[in-house]
Amino acid sequence: MRLPRRVPWAHIGELEQVCSWIYTDENDLDAKELAVNKLAAWKAVTSLPHALESAHALLTVTLHDMALQSQGSSSYLSLRQGYSTAVIRLVNGLVDPLQLGAYARSINSIAAQLGLPQWLVELRHAATHEDLPSIEVLREAARQAMAWLLNNYFLPTLNPSAPYASQLQRPALRPIAPLLKQYKALAKATARDASLATKFRHDMARLLRDVERWIAEAKVAAPVAATAWDDIDSEEGEGSDPRERWALDRLAEALLEKGALVPVSKKKRMLSSTAFHPSPFILNIWTPLLAHLQSLHPSLPVALISNAVSHLSSQEQIAQTPDADVVMLDAEQEKQKQDATHDRCIAGWVNWLVDTYGRKEDDAYGDDDIYVSRADVVSKLVAALGPTRAFSGTREKRVQELLRALSEGHPTLEKAASLVLNMPRPVPSSQTWQEADMLLMHERLSTLLSLQTEAPSLEPNGRAEAVETQPVGEPIVSPASRLPPGWRRVSRDDGWKPSPIGVFVPCVAA
SS (H, E, C) 253-318: HHHCCECCCECCCCHHHCECCCCCCECHHHHHHHHHHHHHHHHHCCCHHHHHHHHHHHHHCCCCCC
Query: Can you give the pLDDT at residue 320?
Result: 40
Query: Would you tell me how many other CB atoms lie within 10 Å of the CB of residue 339?
Result: 16
- Percent of the chain at pLDDT > 90 equals 9
The most distant pair of C-alpha atoms in the chain lies apart, rounded to whole Å, by 116
Instruction: Provide the pLDDT confidence category of residue 133 given band limits of 50, 70 and 90.
Output: confident
Query: Is residue 465 within a helix (H) or strand (E), and if so which, with residue range?
Result: strand 464-465
Whether the pLDDT of residue 23 is over 50: the answer is: yes
pLDDT at 304: 92
The CA distances from residue 401 to 232, 313, 356, in Å, are 42, 13, 19
User: E-assigned strands of 35-137?
Assistant: none
pLDDT, residue 352, reads: 92
pTM over 0.75: no
pLDDT at 427: 57
Mean pLDDT of 486-502: 79
Spatial CB neighbours of 181, under 8 Å, sequence gap ≥ 6: 259
DSSP state of 238: G
> 405: exposed, middle or buried (C-beta count within 10 Å: 0-12, 13-18, 19+)?
buried
Average of per-residue pLDDT across 297-323: 74
80 CB-near residues (< 8 Å, 6+ apart): 132, 133, 134, 135, 138
Amino acid 353: pLDDT: 92
pLDDT at residue 363 in the model: 46
Integer Cα distance of 158 and 453 in angstroms: 57
Tens-digit pLDDT profile for residues 230-273:
444 444 444 456 778 888 888 999 999 888 999 988 888 888 88
pLDDT band at 425 (very low <50, low <70, confident <90, very high): low
Compute the average pLDDT of residues 296-310: 89
